[in-house]
């Protein structure tokens, strides 16, 4: 839940960078969710979502099933979850065993200027639990985050951690240019995904297909 002395997004990201398993995949939402993570821990296994609010979590969900041997981490915002509440219901229904969701609860639409949410004090962990997600917790300190994150990474299961966070409205400058096409190809190479080749008359094929 929101409180008056909230850690920053960077505080939580530093813990994530130190705790992240080797070869884990991280999908970050638009704005500082991606810019700051790139500044702290840029790696080919990161997928930075640009200008697609609410779609970091659906992408991470698909990756969790496509890459079952890897840990997948999704960083999504509270405003984005309000846009795509059905994603929580889907998570509860399918419950991937290798997905950790970090929901940044800063009470504002940070990427579009800091407009307050309709209900900034909404208990997202209770929403997740009601959607069938068995392990959902509110986190208000860096120390608590380090503890629950280590536990989540040590065993299989779906976890949703709602991170009470101070708003960060100043745009972080990432260390690389954000080009969606470059991000896609870098990430596809990291996970060894075959390239999709479109055809002139519709359809297409994967690069590994012979016909």
Mean pLDDT of 64-88: 92
Give the confidence band of 3 by pLDDT, cuts at 50, 70, 90: very low
Give CATH superfamily name and number for 9-206: Thiamin diphosphate (ThDP)-binding fold, Pyr/PP domains (3.40.50.970)
Measured CA to CA in angstroms, residue 90 lies from 95, 96, 122, 133, 145 at distances of: 8, 10, 20, 9, 25
Please name which of 29, 33, 5, 17 lies closest in space to residue 140, comparing C-alpha atoms. Answer: 5
Name the DSSP class of 190: H
Domain spans of the chain?
A: 9-206
3-state secondary structure 149-160: HHHHHCCCCCEE
Mean pLDDT of 54-61: 93
Give the confidence band of 1 by pLDDT, cuts at 50, 70, 90: very low
Mean pLDDT of 160-189: 91
Give kind and range of the element (H or E) at residue 11. Answer: helix 9-19
* Cα-based angle 152, 189, 59 (whole degrees, multiple of 5): 50
């Amino acid at each position: 839940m929101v409180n008056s002395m909230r850690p920053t997004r960077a505080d939580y990201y530093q813990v994530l960078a130190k705790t992240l398993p080797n070869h884990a995949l991280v999908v970050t939402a638009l704005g500082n969710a991606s810019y700051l993570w790139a500044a702290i821990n840029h790696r080919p296994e990161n997928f930075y979502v640009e200008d697609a609010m609410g779609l970091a979590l659906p992408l991470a969900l698909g990756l969790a099933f496509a890459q079952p041997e890897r840990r997948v981490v999704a960083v999504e915002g509270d405003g984005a979850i309000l846009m795509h509440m059905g994603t929580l219901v889907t998570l509860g229904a399918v419950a991937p065993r290798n997905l950790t969701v970090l929901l940044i609860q800063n009470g504002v639409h940070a990427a579009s200027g800091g407009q307050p949410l309709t209900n900034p004090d909404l208990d997202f962990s209770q929403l997740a639990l009601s959607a069938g997600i068995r392990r959902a917790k509110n986190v208000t300190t860096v120390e608590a985050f380090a503890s629950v994150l280590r536990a989540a990474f040590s065993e299989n299961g779906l976890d949703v951690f709602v991170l009470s966070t101070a708003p960060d409205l100043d745009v972080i400058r990432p260390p690389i240019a954000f080009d969606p096409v470059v991000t896609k190809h870098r990430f596809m190479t990291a996970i060894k995904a075959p390239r999709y080749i479109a055809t002139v008359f519709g359809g297409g094929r994967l690069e590994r297909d012979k016909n």
